Structure 1
Amino acid sequence: MRDDVFVFDNVVHMYDYSDENLVSEQSEYDRHYHVSKVLGRRRTAPTDVYANWHPVEGFKRRWSVEDMGRLVFEDSGTDMAMAQAVPLFDLYKDGFAPVKAQYAFAQAYPERCLFCGAVDPMYPSVAAACEEMERQVKEWGAKSIKIYNAHVDGKSWACDDPEIAYPLYEKGRELGIRVFQFHKGNPITRAKLSDLSPLDIEGAALDFPDMLFGVHHLAVPYFEEVVWMANRYENVFLVLSGIGHTPMIAPRTFTEWMGRLLRDVGSEKVLWGSEMALLGNAKPVIEWIWDMEIPESMQDDYGYPQITEEDKRNILGLNQARIFGVDVEAKKQELWNGAAR
């Protein structure tokens, strides 16, 4: 990969899969399912340097700032990242990517990491969620808010609910937050798959045209739906999170997804997101994306365009920088001391 490519990862997580963070014994089922499902799709197991000598057991812990910093900014070649909290409070006391842990990581690397907070209007209430959002923005400098609306305890809710969801967007607008991001598709618990459908983003995007709505994981298995949504709404963008392993194990599938996104959505609305550390060192995937091409057979059969260098730069970092107001050239000077890496 060329040295001048600016890589800005939309989502990394400081995970807390420790026993102490589990809500109940039932949480162990979902924890084991999530970790084993993801790690089972990786080509290689994590390395000993991160204390992950066992692919599943090694993740049942709290990640440290030091481990994550080394993985993200040294080993993977990532220039900037956003640490995103995940408010999965039905299974994990602090969420499986706790707000305070993401803030700690962003604080440790203030020149390289942005903090994305998280709230849930059902834990315990809409008013409490709005109050917590204000705290995260005003005290901790959150630049975005992450949403996870599907739960196993009967508290699932819809992202287009005027009474539950809309007060969050209105509070975000008041606080200067214009980007909300959503876990869609990619089930990692026993919550109903239908609760992870991206279709409830559509009404919110229509009713809040001044806000940006990021749909993670390409909403797989709702890929078709989310493509048509991003195609029609200027304020909906898509994140390649949770599927970062795909080029390593199913390159044709990933290439087909990318061809479809280029044809029907546009590279300016697709963001790279690794979800390190669960998916391991992202460097091989970043390099694969930079080297990828859309085969002529796919171009001929489906009308997919060839992916360009501009497309790749957009996806790997420029789109994220634009959305969050980062001056890429100035940041290159700051991080690279005026020279290529």
Structure 2
Amino acid sequence: MPANASFVFDGFAELPDYGTDRRSPASARAALDRDARMQREVFPEADVQTREQLAAPLTYDDLADRLFVESGIDVAAVHASATPGPQGDVFALRDRLPGRVLVMARLDPFFGLERALDELDALADRGVAGISLDQYRVVDGEDRSFSLADEDTIHPLLERCVERGIRVVSVRKGNPRGLDPLDPYRVADLDQAARQFPTLQFELVHAGLAFLDEVALQMARFTNLWANLAGANHFAMRQPRRLAEVLGEFFLHGAEDRILFGSGALGHPRPVVEALRTFRMPADMVDDGYLELTDERRVKLLGGNAARLHELVR
């Protein structure tokens, strides 16, 4: 699949989730409040959704319409649970739209290593594009989290990924939801994972929202680390200098081939895509040393890099 000026690959698409299966009710409410506030800050006024609209449940069919019909996105990596629910079945969506939907399946290591290994094997058998990790959740009313440096539980899972040919491991960082703790979303544990598993490709989701200096330095050191800008790329709409700083730092650290567009679940993807198509680095920031977002770099950001990550192109 060629990557050209019109090609868009959404590297992080997901359904909105303000439920309480992974976090406390108070944290779920705070997550919705924060997203509603961020919508008002970054979206054009005409595209801002109300709190109630944000919280309205969507199905995978709804998501497909948003991505492919209404936003002109060509391919999407959908990050989702492998278990069918009221929202539908993500594998059925993939089978209905072959070549357009890749499944990044959520894997929970919170319930024991053997169970997680069995689930990973089952996902490999179903041909997932990769696994999607969230390092925090509530289990039986208790906060639980894990580190990518955990040699007892997490490294065996990563070793099994290598054995089963699962190349892409997506990890959410820098964006705790609601009242969730910050520590699981720090980035230091990526160092050990990227160093010890050089054939795995680690996708850091929400790159640029926090820890920009640390992530840029990691990107310079580890060529198997990719930055998905879900959340940060939304700044293209109304806060261009914030996005310019993110892009500028990644460009200066040699990472222009490993930054990805992601729509996430914050509102509709259409205005984000439209803003990225016309975004320009502010002239004074270029004068101060940041690199331009050239047409070639824009093609990479909007789809070319994600296509290489998922081996749709070489």
| TM-score (norm. length: structure 1) | 0.81
Question: 2:26 is matched with which residue: 20, 29, 34?
Answer: 29
User: Which runs of 5 or more residues in structure 2 are unaligned?
Assistant: none
Q: Secondary structure at the match of 1:135?
A: helix
> Which residue is 2:261 aligned to?
272
The one-letter amino acid of 1:38's match is D
**Which residue, out of 163, 166, 183, partners 1:174?**
163
Letter in 2 for 1:65: Y
Which residue of 2 is the match for residue 9 of structure 1?
10
Greater relative CO, 1 or 2 (CA 8 Å, sep 6+):
2
Equivalent AA in structure 2 for residue 12 of structure 1? A
Residues in 2 aligned to 1:14 and 1:141: alpha-carbon distance in whole angstroms: 21
Paired AA for residue 80 in structure 1: V
The answer on whether the counterparts of 1:41 and 1:249 sit within 8 Å (CA) in structure 2 is: no
Whether the aligned pair in 2 keeps the contact of 1:118 and 1:133 (CA below 8 Å) is no
In the alignment, does 2:282 pair up with 1:295? Answer: yes
1:335 matched residue in structure 2: none
* 1:247 is the counterpart of 2:248: no
Opposite residue 147 of structure 1, the aligned amino acid is L
Whole-angstrom distance in 2 between the partners of 1:284 and 1:146: 26
Pick closer, same or farther for the CA change 1:293–1:45 going to 2, 3 Å.
closer
The alignment status of 1:72 with 2:72, answered yes or no, reads no
Residue ranges of structure 1 left out of the alignment (5+ in a row): 88-93, 329-341
Partners of 1:101 and 1:251 lie apart in 2 by: 37
Identity value in percent: 27
What's the offset of the Cα at 1:315? Answer: 0.8
Q: 2:257, 2:44 → 1: CA distance?
A: 31
**1:231 is paired with a residue of what secondary structure?**
helix
Aligned-partner Cα distance in 2 for 1:65–1:172: 26
Q: Is the 8 A contact 2:60 2:88 kept in 1?
A: no
Q: Is the 8 A contact 1:143 1:177 kept in 2?
A: yes
Q: Say which of 70, 85, 99 aligns to 1:111.
A: 99
**Which residue of the partner structure matches residue 311 of structure 1?**
297
- Per the TM alignment, residue 219 of structure 1 is displaced from its structure 2 partner at its CA by 5.6
**SS state of the match for residue 137, structure 2?**
coil
Q: Deviations over 1:299-322 (max 9, x none)?
A: 232x21112111010111011111
Q: What is the DSSP-based 3-state SS (H/G/I as helix, E as strand, rest coil) of the residue aligned with 2:58? A: coil
C-alpha displacement at 1:269, in angstroms? 0.8
> What is residue 143 of structure 1 aligned with on the other side?
129
C-alpha distance in 2, partners of 1:100/1:149? 24
**Cα–Cα, structure 1 residues 71 and 307, in superposed 2: closer, same or farther, change >3 Å?**
same
C-alpha change, 1:248 and 1:117, in structure 2 (3 Å) is: same
Q: 1:286 to 1:221 in 2, by over 3 A?
A: same
Residues in 2 aligned to 1:98 and 1:8: alpha-carbon distance in whole angstroms = 26
Q: CA deviation at 1:74?
A: 0.9
Shift of 1:109: 1.8
For 1:79 and 1:59, the matched residues in 2 are separated by 24
User: Could you tell me how far 1:236 is from its partner in structure 2?
Assistant: 0.7
Higher mean Cα deviation, 57-66 or 288-297? 57-66
For residue 114 of structure 1, give the secondary structure of its aligned residue in structure 2: strand
> Given the two structures, how large is their TM-score scaled by the length of structure 2?
0.88
* Count of matched residue positions in the alignment of Structure 1 and Structure 2: 305
Q: What is the SS of the residue equivalent to 1:63? A: coil
Give the CA deviation at 1:137.
1.9
- 1:103-252 superposed matches below 5 A: 103-122=91-110, 124-138=111-125, 140-152=126-138, 153-218=142-207, 220-252=209-241
How large is the Cα RMSD of the aligned pairs?
A: 2.7
Distance 2:210 2:74 in 1: 30
> Structure 1: which amino acid aligns with 2:136?
A
Change over 3 Å in CA distance of 1:135–1:289 after alignment to 2: same
Report the equivalent of 1:332: none
